[in-house]
Amino acid sequence: MKNILIIGWKTLTKPSGYYSLGALVIGGFIAGIIFWGGFNTALEVTNTEAFCISCHEMENNVYEELKTTIHFTNRSGVRATCPDCHVPHNWTSKIARKMQASKEVWGALFGTINTREKFLVHRKRLAQNEWNRLKANDSLECRNCHNFDYMDFTEQSERASYQHSTALASGEKTCIDCHKGIAHQLPDMKGVEGW
């Protein structure tokens, strides 16, 4: 075992004796494209709704709840899928979120929330994670679609336009402060601010 490792290390540190520099550079470039492309494709596959609801925890709980809301079906047919709200769009944040998601793989393997009852027990903690994330990034995932600068207050109801033109415009509040539970049912809200 040790010998194999030593041979491997020696091969890596020695200059190439057989292949031309050109072959190595071009070969490396092509391999890079293939590997990077493959990585990105795999990453994008994990960023689809079909992938999310391939786990029954997601399909039977949160996805079922989403179906009744305006983010699933509405007059104009614009839909929000799971990653639209739950995965950051810019690359570094996305990778950071994907690394955090390894915890979720652990949960799926060991069945942390594999029944509705277990899910409800953990619901508050899970919801709190998402609220904290959205609070920290000023509801970035909401704002990927809902752009404040293009909101027409005259089209909103009086109450909505009042709140949006004061608390939201001044930056005192962010979307998630008021719009909790718009896509899924709420946990027990005892002790949550504003409830």
Partner 1 sequence: MKNLNLASIAGLMAIVLSPVFTSFTVTAADKAEINTVATLRDHTKINTQKEPNPIPKVVNKDIKKARNYPMQPPVIPHTIRSYEVNRYNNKCMSCHSRQRTEKSQAPMVSVTHFMNRDGNFLAEISPRRYFCNQCHVTQLDTKPLVENTFTDMHSLMKQKTANTKEH
Residues contributing to the annotated binding site for a menaquinol: 82
Identity of residue 12: L
String of contacts with partner 1 for each residue 158-187, x by CB under 8 A: xx---------------------xx--xxx
Site for partner 1 in 23-82 (CB under 8 A): 68-70
Least distance in angstroms from the C-beta of 61 to partner 1: 15
If binding is defined by CB under 8 A, does position 117 make contact with partner 1? Answer: no
Whose Cβ is closer to partner 1: residue 55's or residue 182's?
182
Query: How many other C-beta atoms are found inside a 10 Å radius of the C-beta of residue 175?
Result: 20
Distance CA 10, CA 5 (A): 9
Total residues belonging to the chain: 195
- Which region, judged by CB under 8 A, interacts with partner 1, from 18-26, 100-108, 146-154, 155-163? 155-163
If binding is defined by CB under 8 A, does position 157 make contact with partner 1? Answer: yes
Whose Cβ is closer to partner 1: residue 87's or residue 183's?
183
Least distance in angstroms from the C-beta of 186 to partner 1: 5
Least distance in angstroms from the C-beta of 174 to partner 1: 17
Distance CA 195, CA 190 (A): 7
Least distance in angstroms from the C-beta of 56 to partner 1: 23
Which residues are at the interface with partner 1 (CB under 8 A)?
Answer: 68-70, 157-159, 181-182, 185-189, 194-195
